[in-house]
Structure 1
Amino acid sequence: MSAAWSSEALWLLTGGAAFAAGVLNAIAGGGSFLTFPALVFAGVPPLAANATSAMAVSPGYLGSTWGFRSELKALPKSLLQREVVIAASGGLIGAGLLLVTPASVFSSLVPWLLLLATALFAAGPWLAQRNAGQGRQAWRQPGLMFVAIYGGYFNGGLGILLMALYTLTGEARLNTVNALKNLNSFVLSLLSVLAFALAGAIVWPQAVWMMVLATAGGWVGARLAKRLPVQWVRNLVIITGLSMSIVFFSRL
C-alpha cells in the first residue's frame, strides 16, 4: 500500500502522526494508535514499528509531564517514587518479552491489544462507580506493574490503560490522572526503548524525525488538556482506538 506513496509523503505522514500523537498522549493517551499504524503503512515491519513508535513518542511524554508539573508537585513524593520504580521495572520486563516474541505472533496480537486497551478505557468510569469503596487502592500498584509490562511490550494504548487504572483506583481529578499517566509513561518508555535500541530493533531515521514532532505535540497537548471538555477527549480516544483496531483486524 505504501508503494503508491512518494518517500516525501511517507515522511509527512509519519511526522504528522508523531505530532498528533504527542498532542493526544498529553490529553488522554492513545498516541501510539497513530504512530504505530503510520510506521506500518510506511513499510516498517510490525515489531520494528512498535519499537520505533515507542521511541518516537517517549520525548512527548516528557513535554507533557512538564506541562502537568503543578499537579505532580501536589502529590506525595513517596508515592511518586514508588510508582516510578514500578513503572521502570515493568517497562524493562515488557521490552524483554517483546524481544523474544516471534514477529508473526506479535502481528497477530496487535489488533486484540488495541481493542483491549480501548475497551478498558471506555469502561473505566462505569467500573469505577461499581467498585466505589471496595479497597481499590490496594491493587493500584500491582495494576501499575501489569500495565507497565504491557507498555514495555506494546506501547499502543499505554496511556489509555494508565488512565483507566487511575480512574478505577479512585483518582477522580482528570488533570492528576493525566499527570501520573504522562510521568509513568515517560519512565517506562525511556527504559524500554533503551532495551530496544541495544537490541537493534529501532529504525533510527524515522525515530529521530518523529521524536522531534512528538515532543512539540506533547507541549501543545498539555496546554489543550486543561481546556478541552473531558467527554470530548474520551470520545476522541475511543473512536481512535476502535478505528485502529478495525484496520489491524482487516490485515489479519
Structure 2
Amino acid sequence: MKSRRTEFPARPKILTVLHQELSSPGRVGQILVASGFDLDIRRPPLGDSLPETLENHAGAVVFGGPMSANDPDEFVKRETDWLAVPLGENKPFLGICLGAQMLVNHLGGKVGGREDGKVEIGWYPLRPTDAGREIFDWPDMVYHFHREGFSLPSGATLLASGEHYENQAIRYGDNAWGVQFHAELTRAMMHRWVVRGAQRFELPGAQVGRDHLEGRMLWDVRLRAWLGEFLERIFGAADPRQAVTRARKA
C-alpha cells in the first residue's frame, strides 16, 4: 500500500534586497518568516538580478547599505529603475534607509546631506505627523546610521519627521513605504555596526558607540514592537495563525 504524502501549500515569498555579502535582513526577516513568508534574498551589487514582475511575490523590501542612492554604479540605477515594478503592480514595498532614498529618487525627489555636514548616527527623536498618527503609535526614539536624507516627493505623504533630517517616514500610494531609520537591527547586528562603523562617530552630530548600545536598552523594546505592527500593516500575515504579538518575539 502506497503511503500518502502530505503536500503543504508553498509559502508566499517576499523579495528581500540586500547590498553587501554579509548583510542580514535582521528582525524584518525574522518577523516576516514568523508571519508565514519565505525570503527571496537578492544582492544586486554581487550580480543578482531582480525579477521582471512580482507576480510570484507577496511584496518587496529594499534594505540599506554603505553606498549612496546617488552613486553612479550600474546596480544603483538598475535598482532604482526597478522600483517601477512594485509601484506599477501596486505590490507592498518597503524601503529602509538606502531603499527609501532609492524610492525617493525614483519618484523624482532629491537625496543628499545637510550643508553643515551633520549626520544621524545613533538614537534620535521621532515626531509622527497627523497622517502618521492615524495609522500607528510611533516610537519616541529610533536608531539611525546615515549621512544623507531625502526630500518629500510629489504625491507622497509624510508620516514622521525628525530634528536634523525632516523627512523620516513616508508613504506613496496604497502600498509603498519608506523609512530613514533602522528598526531591523538585532543586538548582534548593532554590535557589528558599532565596531565596523566607529570611524563615523567623529562626524558632526554622531553619537559615540556606547550611546548606541545604552540607547538600545532604553528604547529598543518599543521600536521592536512598532516594527511588528508596521510590517503587519504593510504585508499582512501569510499564515493567519501568526499574530503580530508572536512575531514580536523575533
TM surpasses 0.5: no
Q: Which has the larger radius of gyration?
A: 2
Indicate the structure with greater strand content. Answer: 2
Identify, as 1 or 2, the structure richer in helix: 1
